[in-house]
A and B are shown apart, each in its own frame.
Chain A
Amino acid sequence: MRFGVVVFPGTWSDCDFHYVISEVIRQPVKYVWHRDRNLADLDCVVLPGGFSYGDYLRAGAVAGRSPVVEALPEFLARGGLVLGSCNGFQILCEAGLLPGALMRNECLQYRCQSTNLLVENTETPFTRALRPGQVLTMPISHGEGKYHADPEALRTLRQRNQVVFRYATLEGKVTRAANPNGSVDNIAGIVNAEGTVLGLMPHPERAAESAMGGTDGLQIFHSLLGSLVEDGTFLKR
């Protein structure tokens, strides 16, 4: 699977993603500059975490209108997959590729900590290797990760099974105490209606080797690799 890791001014997780893809799962990967619209030779585009454009105006607002992001609908239409983590999730929401928005953490603090994620939907190319009800441990690192969607959008998300990860206890209980940022319904990650775009606030690339303290994030990468079938297309939902 050919990966492209997008780099905006202010991105900080680009090298981490590049390292995990090239050295841990050993797949071809290249950096994609934010002004680049050519995604023709890629299967999966990664929007990493960081502070693109200094988070000016709103987190992800300026990056959400950048040339590379404007090229994503066409990339998706021809069968590509998009993974956005942290600032990448904010960018995908700002660009309208995922519903809802991310706002200031309810606690007003920047939260850099480990979180437990209840897996709700395993019928996506990003979660195919997981079991529903499984709990993954991954770090978060953000000040603006409170997911918000109006009641109607939330209903649609639930009906279409678009909620993929929810903050929970290690035992998989969705509690208020397990919610680090005040996200509605403890939502930590969602997919688009087609299941081809995943946005999540946690950092799978920071839980990909035992030296990092955990390898649960690797399961997202393994799911992606397992979704690649012989004719070069992806198993969708």
Chain B
Amino acid sequence: MKVRVLVRLKPGILDVQGAAVQRALAGLGFGDVRGMRVGKLVEVDVDATDGAQARARVEEMCRRLLTNTILEDYTIEVEPTERLAPPGAVR
């Protein structure tokens, strides 16, 4: 089962990487960027019977390794299984 974890720095923690990218964008003429935070995407393919089980396993992975909760927040998205059907498959 495919699960996506979005990891981002907690609000209030200065994101120096985001600030540098924002400055670079301003140099390219994107002075209209009001804010920028750079995060991380972790895609996990996990053996699970349903979405709830997959979410619970990945939640535990986040707590134990994937994220540092002192610095980071995360959100977990379980991909709906029907989206895994091959393109053009009859639903």
Which residues of A come within 8 Å of B, CB atoms? 57-58, 61-62, 65, 93-94, 100-101, 103-108, 148-150, 182
Q: Considering the complex, give the chain B residue whose CB is closest to the CB of A150.
A: B70
Q: Given contacts A101-B70, A148-B13, A150-B70, is CB(A65)–CB(B65) below 8 Å?
A: yes
**How many B residues touch A, CB cutoff 8 Å?**
11
Q: Determine if B68 and A58 form an interchain contact, defined as CB atoms under 8 angstroms apart.
A: yes
Contacts of A101 in B (CB 8 A): 68, 70-71
Q: Determine if B65 and A61 form an interchain contact, defined as CB atoms under 8 angstroms apart.
A: yes
Q: Determine if B68 and A61 form an interchain contact, defined as CB atoms under 8 angstroms apart.
A: yes
A150 to B68: give the CA distance in the assembly, Å.
Answer: 13
Interface of B is mostly: helix
Contacts of A149 in B (CB 8 A): 70
Contacts of A58 in B (CB 8 A): 68
Contacts of A57 in B (CB 8 A): 65-66
A126 to B17: give the CA distance in the assembly, Å.
Answer: 35
Q: Determine if B64 and A65 form an interchain contact, defined as CB atoms under 8 angstroms apart.
A: yes
Q: Considering the complex, give the chain B residue whose CB is closest to the CB of A60.
A: B68
A103 to B14: give the CA distance in the assembly, Å.
Answer: 10
Given contacts A94-B68, A103-B13, A108-B20, 20 further A-B contacts (CB under 8 A): A58-B68, A61-B65, A61-B68, A62-B65, A65-B64, A65-B65, A93-B70, A101-B70, A101-B71, A104-B16, A104-B17, A106-B14, A106-B16, A107-B16, A108-B16, A108-B17, A148-B70, A149-B70, A182-B14, A182-B16
Which residues of B come within 8 Å of A, CB atoms? 13-14, 16-17, 20, 64-66, 68, 70-71
A148 to B66: give the CA distance in the assembly, Å.
Answer: 19
- Supply 7 A–B pairs (Cβ within 8 Å), ascending by A: A57-B66, A100-B70, A103-B13, A104-B17, A105-B16, A106-B14, A182-B14
Q: Considering the complex, give the chain A residue whose CB is closest to the CB of B17.
A: A104
Q: What is the CB-to-nearest-CB distance from A221 to chain B, in angstroms, rounded to a whole number?
A: 30
Contacts of B20 in A (CB 8 A): 108
A104 to B71: give the CA distance in the assembly, Å.
Answer: 11
Q: Considering the complex, give the chain A residue whose CB is closest to the CB of B71.
A: A101
Q: Given contacts A108-B17, A108-B20, A148-B13, is CB(A103)–CB(B71) below 8 Å?
A: yes
A62 to B17: give the CA distance in the assembly, Å.
Answer: 22
